[in-house]
Amino acid sequence: MKFEFSKITRSRLMGSMGLHIKWKKEDKYFHQFFLLDSEGDGIADYVGLYDPLEEEVFQEEARLTGGLGSPFSRLTKKETLNLLYEYAKANINKGISLPEPFEDYKDFLIKDVKVDSKKLFMKLCISLSSEVEFINYMAMRLIANDIQALKYFSNDIEAFPIVAKQGATLLKNTVSHVSGHRYSCVAIFEDHTGFYSQTLGFTLKEEENYILRAVLKGKNHKLSREEIANEMKRTEFIATFKNNNSNSKEKLISILPTLYKVPFGKGDLYTKFRPNNSHVKKSEYIISDDLEGIYFISKKEIVFSALDEQSYKNGLKILSHIESLLLNSEFIFPNPVIYDFAEAKESTFAQFLANI
């Protein structure tokens, strides 16, 4: 097959990237879509489309990359194959099955030592605009124990402090300027053992932009459920709709092709992310600030959730375009409950409310 192009989201510092490769064989095209996870899962998802319609390509690319909040970088064929090789190796090293059908891409897992690994890495990263944004990204990478990223953004730090267990996620980070190029932050994170507050210190090099000179680990405190609820407190706006339209799910996806789907036993949860990662530029980074709306769809109803009033109004306007949906109820909660409902045994939101 002839290589046509390859493009990837510049979202490496967020931990995941969407890769789109296009090949040509005779007069037909083959499109491949990979979700690459830099925090342990390697190649996390794969879809191959043989000779698809242009609309199908657009929809799949939107589905894969819509939640990553990043523009694309073009890659060469060698860079693309090296990247696939490295991420497939992560699957193998950790005993994680490679997504099927493996036959589609097994012959592309080729390493080329001539590729400049640092140059390739930097093509995967967004251009930074401030030291606060840089500190937030470095806190994310430190919590995720992403040594590769930390080393590329430091020239001579030999070891980094271990802050969290494997698979940890940064939930909130509050950055304070100490002096010069020195910053402290309080990171709230979750790993499989619970929730923690961790004080961190970062010193940047004066002579080079966005290069770490030192990273320090301070006090660590395990948080109770009450403490984490207070730290992550967000007002949630919810509307429930009676679902009289068997095609409501398809209609919503056609309106919002970038929705990210997570299946649950009683329905599917679809998340609409914001189109960029501007929330990382704030001195107080909160993971949920990139959520624009959540739609939980079951056979009986649609439950819509948003974390601010404007996003809530926008979501209601979108749902008004779906025929036969009837608004049942509207609620405002002091803390988000949509994920609790998705996991609960009750089949409707009203039943869920009656039992909490």
- What the block records as the tokens of 105 is 């891409």
Q: Considering the entire predicted model, what is its pTM? A: 0.90
Q: Is the pLDDT of residue 63 over 90?
A: no
Structure-token match 């509307």, residue found: 239
For residue 298, what are the CA distances in angstroms to 1, 43, 246, 346? 42, 30, 10, 12
Taking a C-beta distance cutoff of 8 angstroms, is the pair 202, 215 a contact? yes
Helix axes 248-255, 309-319, angle to 10 degrees: 120
Task: Please report which helix (H) or strand (E) contains residue 151, including its range.
Answer: helix 147-152
Identify each DSSP E strand in 12-168 by its residue range: 16-25, 28-37, 42-50, 72-74
pLDDT in tens, 177-209: 999 999 999 999 999 999 999 999 999 999 889
Across residues 49-64, what is the average pLDDT?
Answer: 93
* pLDDT computed for residue 197 by the predictor: 97
Distance, in Å, from the CA atom of 262 to the CA atom of 201, rounded to the nearest integer, reads 36
Distance, in Å, from the CA atom of 18 to the CA atom of 70, rounded to the nearest integer, reads 10
pLDDT band with cut points at 50, 70 and 90 for residue 300: confident
* pLDDT computed for residue 69 by the predictor: 87
CA angle 275–292–233, rounded 5-degree value: 130
Q: Is the pLDDT of residue 281 over 90?
A: yes
- What the block records as the tokens of 310 is 């404007």
Distance, in Å, from the CA atom of 175 to the CA atom of 132, rounded to the nearest integer, reads 7
* pLDDT computed for residue 165 by the predictor: 87
Distance, in Å, from the CA atom of 49 to the CA atom of 276, rounded to the nearest integer, reads 27
Q: What is the DSSP string of 308-342?
A: SHHHHHHHHHHHTTSTTEEEEEEEEESS--HHHHH
Distance, in Å, from the CA atom of 348 to the CA atom of 356, rounded to the nearest integer, reads 13
Across residues 237-250, what is the average pLDDT?
Answer: 88
* pLDDT computed for residue 166 by the predictor: 84
Across residues 262-276, what is the average pLDDT?
Answer: 93
Q: What is the DSSP string of 269-300?
A: EEEEE-SS-GGGGSSEEEGGGGEEEEEEE-SS
| Residue 211 DSSP label | -
Q: Is the pLDDT of residue 158 over 90?
A: no
Closest C-alpha among 122, 163, 123, 117 to residue 140: 163
Domains of the chain plus CATH, in order, are 2-123 (no CATH), 131-228 (3.10.450), 236-354 (3.30.160)
Pairwise pLDDT comparison (27 vs 111), residue with the higher score = 27
Per-residue H/E/C for 38-63: CCCCEEEEEEEEECCCHHHHHHHHHH
Taking a C-beta distance cutoff of 8 angstroms, is the pair 236, 338 a contact? yes
* pLDDT computed for residue 325 by the predictor: 86
* pLDDT computed for residue 105 by the predictor: 95
* pLDDT computed for residue 113 by the predictor: 72
Mean pLDDT estimate for the chain = 93
Pairwise pLDDT comparison (172 vs 115), residue with the higher score = 172
Across residues 79-85, what is the average pLDDT?
Answer: 94
* pLDDT computed for residue 263 by the predictor: 92
Single-letter amino acid code for the residue at 53: L
Pairwise pLDDT comparison (264 vs 300), residue with the higher score = 264
Closest C-alpha among 264, 273, 251, 226 to residue 318: 251
To the nearest whole percent, how much of the chain has pLDDT over 70? 100
Q: Is the pLDDT of residue 112 over 80?
A: no
pLDDT in tens, 301-337: 999 999 999 999 999 999 998 887 889 999 999 999 9
